[in-house]
Amino acid sequence: MADHTLDQIGPRLKSWRQKRGLTLDELSALTAISSSTISRLEAGKRAPNLELVVPLARALRLELDDLVPPVVPDPRVPRVTKRIDQVVFEQLSPESSPSQAARVTFPTPEPGVVPDPRVHDGYEWLYVLSGRLRLVLGDHDIVMGAGEAAEFDTRTPHWLRSAGPGPAEVLAIFSKQGKRIHLRAKTTAPTGTMGE
């Protein structure tokens, strides 16, 4: 447990004791912990341990979480970048997130590439950050510009690539399964696809 977390236990204990309207002596009588020990614990002059905190929490009708603040993890997402069939994926969400976000850069298109739509379970949401994106979705063949968004059921055959003249950069949000599909290298995928 981090030191700054331990430092918060004493003040929380004192606050809860006062909310319950108990004196140090009254809390001592309920727990068989001396009032001087409780006082030192509240003032941060005694290190908390389970032998002290558990009976005090019980006497105050609290859960341990009420006295021991939760540890807030570092919110930053580690930078992970993958290149699949010339498409660059930069991970924007942690692996544990139920929805996966990525910045996807589709390269400048090569001439003669034929759409090869794929399907998989899930939903996908796209926002074009820059460039022009070609989205083939079922019977639709759409070119989207910067600032445009699309959402679709990925069980509908779909295919994505830059519409040129340069690369297209897209913010994509999809399910974990969709992420696995997108980041699976396929040697037979046409250049410029998401490798679905």
pLDDT tens sequence across 111-157: 888 899 999 888 899 999 999 999 999 999 999 999 999 999 999 99
Where do the structural domains in the chain lie, given as residue ranges?
3-67, 81-182
Is residue 184 predicted with pLDDT exceeding 70? no
**DSSP code at position 150:** E
Report the pLDDT value the prediction gives residue 3, as an integer from 0 to 100: 56
The backbone torsions φ and ψ at residue 22, rounded to the nearest 5 degrees and listed phi first, read -105, 140
Q: CA 36, CA 74: separation in Å to the nearest integer?
A: 37
Tokens for 33, please give them. 């912990």
- Size of the chain, expressed as the number of residues it contains: 196
pTM metric for this prediction = 0.61
The average pLDDT across 68-91 equals 87
Higher pLDDT, 21 or 175: 21
* pLDDT classification of 7: cutoffs 50, 70, 90: confident
Report the pLDDT value the prediction gives residue 190, as an integer from 0 to 100: 36
Tokens for 50, please give them. 């389970």
> What type of residue is 71?
V
Chain-wide mean pLDDT for the chain? 86
Domains 3-67 and 81-182 share a fold: no
**CATH code of the domain occupying 3-67:** 1.10.260.40
- Distance (Å) of CA 74 to CA 8, 71, 94: 19, 9, 11
> What type of residue is 10?
G
CB atoms within 10 A of CB 188: 6
Helix (H, G, I), strand (E, B) or coil at 16: helix
Per-residue pLDDT of 37-49, as tens digits, reads 999 999 989 988 9
Q: CA 106, CA 124: separation in Å to the nearest integer?
A: 16
Bridge partners of residue 159, in order along the sequence: 136
Measure the CA angle with vertex 59, ends 52 and 70; round to 5°: 60
CATH topology of domain 81-182: Jelly Rolls (2.60.120)
Report the pLDDT value the prediction gives residue 178, as an integer from 0 to 100: 56
Helix (H, G, I), strand (E, B) or coil at 12: helix
The average pLDDT across 2-25 equals 86
* pLDDT classification of 99: cutoffs 50, 70, 90: confident
